[in-house]
């Protein structure tokens, strides 16, 4: 019997991350990358000391209550932790960690891709080329929204939001932001702070969502708040789907209140609201904000650093519960 801590890994991880897991732990891998049901995950965690999951696994209070007593830590391969009931984990004495910092650049790149793709009607154009329906050029053909020089509003000026703001400045965009508190003066870089979201929205030609998914931000963007945006605004979401009320966003896109939306995250993904697929003014990606080789390796190593700390008796760097 191994004297190394036993770790259940719920999804297929990068090779370098799994190599380190094999070296340092008695690891239970998922080489087929099959999504576990809750019952399967609980059974697979039998006698394990920790679980290394992704956001695809839901740790409700009921699931956490059924985990083996041996589980000491849930070390998420994810910056988000809304899929874990933190209070239930605390009640069981289970440490919960995440992987911040390392995916800021990659996620901000996706936010900029969503802005450009939605503004310049990239999905429509790509379909035309692939389907051979592109006929000729015309001054009225595929006219979109220019990004350069416009106003970019950011909800949540954390690590990812700040990188998105820097990238937006490369397009000479004026930055507005809303968060629970303003940035330190040296980090503002000319960005305009709004302590109330409602006060910021009328100043947003583009709106990028980068806040954390919490009960307080659930459906933060609803019908009333979409109405406060300028006509023809564009909304992009690279954070979490739950922050957006789908019906309200779809209504705003159908009515023309919003010119377009760029989405990388959704409610109930991958079983997303069918209207998003049907609307011509949506630019849709399959939750790939952190999907670069460099970032996925870094996320895995960060999760392993947290595991190492727990089993060495140290406080993990990224503890959220």
What are the catalytic residues?
Answer: 240, 269, 287
Alpha helices in the chain (DSSP H): 15-24, 38-44, 61-66, 86-92, 104-119, 122-130, 159-169, 185-188, 197-200, 223-226, 246-255, 274-278, 293-311
Query: Cis link prior to 270 (omega < 30° from 0)?
Result: yes
Please list the residues that pair with 153 across neighbouring strands.
Answer: 176, 207
Helices 293-311 and 15-24 meet at what angle, rounded to 10? 20
Rounded to an integer, what distance in angstroms lies between the CA atom of residue 112 and that of residue 238? 10
Contact 177, 157 (CB under 8 A): yes
Rounded to an integer, what distance in angstroms lies between the CA atom of residue 127 and that of residue 289? 22
DSSP state of 196: S
SS3 252: helix
The full 3-state SS of 136-162, as one line of letters, equals CCCCCCCCCCCCCCCEEEEECCCHHHH
């Amino acid at each position: 019997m191994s004297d190394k801590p036993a770790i259940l890994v719920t999804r297929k991880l990068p090779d370098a991350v799994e190599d380190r897991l094999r070296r340092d732990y008695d690891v239970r891998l998922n080489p087929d990358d099959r999504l576990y049901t809750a019952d399967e995950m609980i059974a697979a965690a039998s006698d394990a000391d920790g679980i290394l999951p992704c956001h695809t696994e839901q740790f409700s209070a009921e699931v956490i209550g059924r985990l083996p007593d041996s589980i000491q830590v849930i070390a998420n391969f994810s910056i988000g932790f809304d899929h874990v009931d933190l209070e239930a984990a605390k009640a069981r004495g289970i440490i919960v960690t995440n992987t911040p910092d390392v995916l800021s650049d990659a996620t901000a790149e996706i936010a900029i891709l969503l802005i450009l793709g939605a503004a310049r009607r990239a999905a429509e154009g790509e379909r035309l080329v692939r389907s051979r329906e592109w006929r000729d050029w015309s001054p009225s053909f595929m006219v979109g929204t220019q990004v350069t020089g416009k106003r970019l509003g950011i909800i949540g000026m954390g690590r990812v939001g700040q990188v998105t703001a820097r990238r937006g400045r490369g397009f000479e965009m004026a930055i507005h932001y809303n968060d629970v508190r303003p940035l330190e003066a040296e980090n503002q870089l000319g960005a305009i702070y709004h302590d109330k979201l409602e006060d910021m929205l009328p100043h947003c030609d583009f709106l990028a969502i980068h806040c954390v998914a919490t009960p307080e931000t659930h459906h933060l963007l609803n019908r009333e708040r979409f109405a406060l945006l300028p006509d023809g605004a564009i909304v992009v979401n690279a954070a979490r789907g739950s922050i957006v009320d789908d019906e309200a966003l779809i209504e705003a896109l159908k009515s023309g209140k919003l010119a377009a939306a760029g989405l990388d995250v959704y409610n109930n993904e991958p079983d997303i609201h069918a209207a998003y697929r049907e609307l011509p003014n949506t630019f849709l990606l399959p939750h790939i904000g952190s999907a670069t080789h460099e970032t996925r390796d870094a996320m895995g190593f960060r999760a392993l650093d947290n595991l190492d700390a727990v089993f060495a008796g140290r406080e993990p760097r990224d503890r959220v519960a």
